[in-house]
Structure formats: structure tokens, C-alpha cells
Amino acid sequence: MRGGDFVQLPVPIIQQLYHWDCGLACSRMVLRYLGQLDDSEFESALQELRLTRSIWTIDLAYLMRHFGVRHRFCTQTLGVDKGYKNQSFYRKHFDTEETRVNQLFAQAKACKVLVEKRTVSVQDIQEHLAQGHVAIVLVNSGVLHCDLCSSPVKYCCFAPSGHRCFCRTPDYQGHFIVLRGYNRATGCIFYNNPAYADPGMCSTSISNFEEARTSYGTDEDILFVYLDS
């Protein structure tokens, strides 16, 4: 369903298989929405791009380029923020990943991967969704709160059924989600969370979404993907 004040795009849910592959699950959702997902091709693309257990937003941009999908990756930092070295979420792989990720940014233009250093507003996101396009967003999952998952059922998007919901934590927990719509009247954003397959679509307030996507650690990364690819 699409309209100026209400958008709900039919983006399929694909659940992540491991704790680290939320970005890949989001990419699968987007490619299936575009009618371009072939599992064997996807697996060969992962091998060709050497995507392992550490997936950054720039990796997803290269993945979209690999499939010829029109995209635009907006971020606050063109490369790796050295301040993240002290963040528990990044610490384990930081030194090896810093060189790799910075190289991807440096080669992006030559590889026809579109990267822009810019701030994105909620209005920009809503205009994008209103045209039937989708976006993959990096959020702090410790902050993001799904209104549909937490009430009336006592579990949330980030834990398997029956597990205790994540508490709000000061530690950054990077997680990718797929945006699929909004409702201006209620001031909410609709998204798919690859960590959780039920109830299917998640919803949160714009203020909570903004807090989650602008948390320190996200670089406000957002990968806009276009339907007319």
C-alpha cells in the first residue's frame, strides 16, 4: 500500500541465520523485493566479494552494485572512525577490518559504488519510501524498540521466541534493518528486523527510530535502494 501519508511496501521477511549476518539477510530481503534474489548467485557473490563474518554497510553497497541494483550509501564517515576501536562491539576485529573497509571506501567511485557523506532526514527517508523504494539502515539494537513485538507479547524483535527482551544498554549493538514504510498520522516507521520472523513487520515511533539510527557507532549509515534497478 502506497500513499503520501501511509506507505507499507510488501518487503518479504528473511530471518538471519547467525548473530553476525543481519546485513546479508537484509540484502536478501531487498533483492527478493526487487525480484532479483537467486540463492546460488547470492552465495557466489559473497565469495567473490570475500564477505565473511564482519559485514559493514559499505560491504552491502558493493553487494548491491554486484547485482546491478541502483543504490546510494549515505554516511557521516567516509571510512572507519578510529574512535570505534574502544567500542566493545568493534574491538575484536577492528585492526584487520580498518584497512579493508578504508580500501573499499577509497575504491568505491572506481567500482561504481555510490557513497555520499551527508546527513539524511526523516523527510528524505519518507520521500524515498513513498516512491516504492526501500532502504537498509544501521541501528543500535539496544535502543530500537518495536511497538508491535513488545505489546501485548513479552518478547521483542531481537531475541528468539520465549527469550527475555534485550534491555536498553549503553553498549552499542550494531544491527541492520530494512525500512518498508511509515504512517504520518501515527508518526511511526515500519521495518523488517532480520533477527525476528514474527509478527512479520515491526513498527516504532520516529523519535525512537531516530535515536537508534543516530547512536554513536552507526555513523548514521543508510543504504538507499531503488526499485527501478
Q: Which of 155, 191, 204, 195 is nearest to 175 (CA)?
A: 195
Is the CB of residue 155 less than 8 Å from the CB of residue 167? no
CA-CA distance, 201 to 214, in Å (whole number)?
22
Q: What is the pLDDT of residue 3?
A: 59
**Residue 91: per-residue pLDDT:** 60
Asked whether the beta carbons of 62 and 113 are under 8 A apart, the reply is yes
Contact at 8 Å (CB) between 136 and 177? yes
Q: 3-class SS at 188?
A: strand
Specify the pLDDT at position 45: 95
Give pLDDT, residue 151: 47
Chain centroid to CA 79: how far?
17
Which pLDDT belongs to residue 161?
40
Element (H, E) at 62: helix 57-66
CA pair distance 226, 30, nearest whole angstrom: 10
pLDDT at site 150: 57
> What tens-digit pLDDT sequence spans the chain (229 residues)?
555 899 999 999 999 988 889 999 999 999 999 999 899 999 999 999 999 888 999 999 999 999 999 999 999 999 887 766 666 666 656 677 888 999 999 999 999 999 999 999 999 999 999 999 999 999 999 899 998 875 433 333 444 443 434 444 557 889 999 999 999 999 999 999 998 877 679 999 999 999 999 999 899 999 999 998 5
Q: Which CATH number fits domain 6-225: 2.60.40.790, 3.20.20.70, 3.90.70.10, 3.40.50.1220?
A: 3.90.70.10
